[in-house]
Amino acid sequence: MAAATAHSALVGGEVSHDVPGRAGFRGTLRSEFTKIRSVRSTYWTLLALVVVCVGIGGLFAWGQAQRLASLRSGTTFGGRVLPHAQAVALLAQRIAYVRSAAVSISLFGLLIGQLVIVVLGALVITSEYSTGMIRTSLTTMPRRATLLAAKGTVFAAVALVTGLVTSFLAFFVGQAILATQHVSATLGTPGALRQVIGGGLFLAVCGMLSFGLGAMLRHTAGAIAAGIGLLFVLLILSNFLPSPPSGWFGQADIDKWIPFYAGAHIWQDQMTGVNPFSPWVGFGVFCAYAAAAIGGGLFLFLRRDA
């Protein structure tokens, strides 16, 4: 029976075997794009990113607008009536602050949004291990550097596009709310465009940092914990650590190396208590952290048994 079976009935058709070239980056890129768009967790995480960033930024902007509205009617935010002169002075002070920080206020949600993109960045690689898919992936594309590069490229592109959309959306929603009190910024405001684009870049690099950690640790929970630790916990801890003895160096000089402070200056105007790098230099430092994580991930990915 076997010998008589036609080839097409057996394997379902012909596949040419003397194709020139070799399986490489382009095909793997298409494959990785199929992978990321064919699981629901991608959409849920990206939706969560947009909702968190736009929602929290909008809420923060709304709070600032309400505060200004109260002062204009002569009361504090809590409703206490202020002497006229004091209310006027406070209002002027407040308006000056909100105007100067209008972009940062609308992008405030990125502080939490970075944690969401960390989840997706880790999942992109660790889900291959938790499901066992990595064994199938590496059997079909055994050139590991190609596989990881394609995976990283696809995720970086998805994270960047979503990050930019998120950042612009948060900016416009926040400014629309601040505009009710005539304190909004436009994209033409000096530095505003850099901040909004920087917000998208920042989110993408947060994701890539987490992707690198995921490649190193191979466990979803571990990679997410490490990502949040580096981005968020370190930031909080720095506010509780004792200052070094005076005359050595200022704490602000250490703090600027903390990943969040280095990376966030590109979208945040004010950084209290920190003597930050300039926005682009800081972002470069932040990118270097992500590159180190990805480099470590690649190193281990090439050497370890899968």
Q: Nearest Cα to 110, choosing from 260, 235, 252? A: 260
Quick check: 219 binds other proteins (CB under 8 A)? no
Quick check: 300 binds other proteins (CB under 8 A)? no
Choose the stretch contacting other proteins; rule: CB under 8 A; options: 125-133, 159-167, 259-267, 275-283: 125-133
Q: Which of 139, 239, 246, 272 binds other proteins (CB under 8 A)?
A: 139
Half-sphere exposure of 66 (CA within 13 A, CB side): 9
Structure tokens at 163: 């990050």
Are 207 and 120 contacting, i.e. CB atoms less than 8 angstroms apart? yes
Nearer to other proteins, 19 or 85 (CB): 19
Q: Nearest Cα to 121, choosing from 26, 185, 42, 68? A: 42
Quick check: 14 binds other proteins (CB under 8 A)? yes
Quick check: 153 binds other proteins (CB under 8 A)? no
Nearer to other proteins, 80 or 303 (CB): 303
Nearer to other proteins, 135 or 182 (CB): 135
Using CB under 8 A as the criterion, what x/- string covers residues 16-55 for binding other proteins? -x-x-xxx---xx-xxx-xx--xxxx--------------
* Identity at 256, one-letter amino acid code: K
DSSP code, position 12: S
Are 196 and 279 contacting, i.e. CB atoms less than 8 angstroms apart? no
Residue 5: exposure state from Cβ atoms within 10 A (0-12, 13-18, ≥19): exposed
The least CB distance from residue 230 to other proteins, in Å, is 27
Structure tokens at 162: 């979503």
The least CB distance from residue 305 to other proteins, in Å, is 4
Query: Does residue 181 come out as left (phi exceeding 0), alpha (psi in the -120 to 50 range) or beta?
Result: alpha
Nearer to other proteins, 66 or 127 (CB): 127
Quick check: 255 binds other proteins (CB under 8 A)? no
Quick check: 80 binds other proteins (CB under 8 A)? no
Quick check: 128 binds other proteins (CB under 8 A)? yes
Residue 31: exposure state from Cβ atoms within 10 A (0-12, 13-18, ≥19): middle
Q: Which of 84, 190, 239, 305 binds other proteins (CB under 8 A)?
A: 305
Residues in the site for other proteins, rule: CB under 8 A? 1-3, 5, 7, 10-15, 17, 19, 21-23, 27-28, 30-32, 34-35, 38-41, 127-128, 131-144, 303, 305-306
